[in-house]
Amino acid sequence: MGRNPANTHVRFWRDPDLPGVEIRTSRYNAEAFCRHVHDAWSVGLIEDGRTTFVLEEARHVAARGKIVVIPPGAVHACNPDPNSVMAYRMFYVAPGLLDGVAAEVFGRARSGGSPRFGTPVIDDADLYRLWRRLHAAVATGADALEKQSLLMQGLAELLTRHGRLGSPRQCGRVPDAVKTVRHHLAARLDERVSLDDLSALVGISRYHLLRVFSREAGLPPHAYQNQLRVVRAKVLLAQGEPISQVAAEVGFADQSHFTRVFRQFTGATPRQYQAGTHV
């Protein structure tokens, strides 16, 4: 399937009054995303249409009026169902921000675990309207206190109505080889790294490395590095750096390659992302 949708709407908001939060509104009538992950919690409001997506090896359906919650690091691709249009508002929330609210909601003595949700698709009309009010407050330039209060209320009610605390993360679960490769790729975004290089780095065969890395990270090494490049590119674009300069700085051979990969992971072009409103 092609990944060159007729985008009728893509827009971003990054509000200095809400550090750790990024908002987007989008409308697509074709496949827009490859399989990818976010380093933030994704809280989406489906405004129109329907999407069928796979998350943690299970298929889920979200349609108009539903809330979708996807945890950091979870591989997914939420595209509109065939022959349909999907419109949504998405809030990307830094993990530390949600963890902080969870500590306040559940009590700091119990805050060692990470928030968990029973299902990624939530049917809660009141909560849906609350998150819409948050976006409206950002889009219209409301007072910082109003925006911050709506964000706190939205996160707290998401947790108290639909969340719980899971067990603390077991850092030792991820094989050392995968951690080493992750760090290596993160430190070399602007370099061409070969599979032979990675195999030699950790002392295991290329085949075994691909299998264990894909199993633990959810993406093969090249896609994982591209994900990291896009994350870094978003920061540079938001700072106003020229697109061609960003492409070179994060390791893409040319701007067209950068644009193609950026669109695959974000559903928008670098220019559309950079045009996001700073309010």
Fill in the amino acid letter for 98.
Answer: L
* DSSP state string for the chain: -------SEEEEEE-TTSTTEEEEEEEESS----SB--SSEEEEEEEESEEEEEETTEEEEEETT-EEEE-TT--B---BPTT--EEEEEEEE-HHHHHHHHHHHH-GGGTTSPEEES-SEE--HHHHHHHHHHHHHHHTT--HHHHHHHHHHHHHHHHHHHEEE-PPP-GGGS-HHHHHHHHHHHTTTTS---HHHHHHHHTS-HHHHHHHHHHHHSS-HHHHHHHHHHHHHHHHHHTT--HHHHHHHTT-SSHHHHHHHHHHHHSS-HHHHHT-EE-
CA-based radius of gyration for the chain:
19
Fill in the amino acid letter for 110.
Answer: R
What are the φ and ψ backbone dihedral angles of 49, each rounded to 5 degrees? 80, -160
Residue 23 CB partners (closer than 8 Å, separation 6+): 12, 13, 14, 15, 89, 90, 91, 92, 135, 138
Helix axes 195-202, 206-217, angle to 10 degrees: 90
Give the domain ranges of the chain.
9-165, 171-278
Domain 9-165: top CATH class: mainly beta
Angle at Cα 240 formed by Cα 238 and Cα 246, nearest 5°?
Answer: 85
pLDDT at residue 248 in the model: 94
pLDDT at residue 172 in the model: 47
Domain 171-278 annotated CATH 1.10.10.60: yes
Q: What is the pLDDT along the chain (279 residues), one digit of tens a residue?
A: 334 445 568 899 999 999 999 999 998 877 777 778 888 999 999 999 988 888 877 888 989 999 999 999 888 888 788 888 889 999 999 999 999 889 888 876 554 568 889 999 999 999 999 999 999 999 998 888 899 999 988 998 999 999 987 644 444 445 889 999 999 999 999 888 888 889 899 998 888 888 888 888 888 888 898 899 999 999 999 999 999 999 999 999 889 989 989 998 888 999 999 988 555
pLDDT at residue 17 in the model: 92
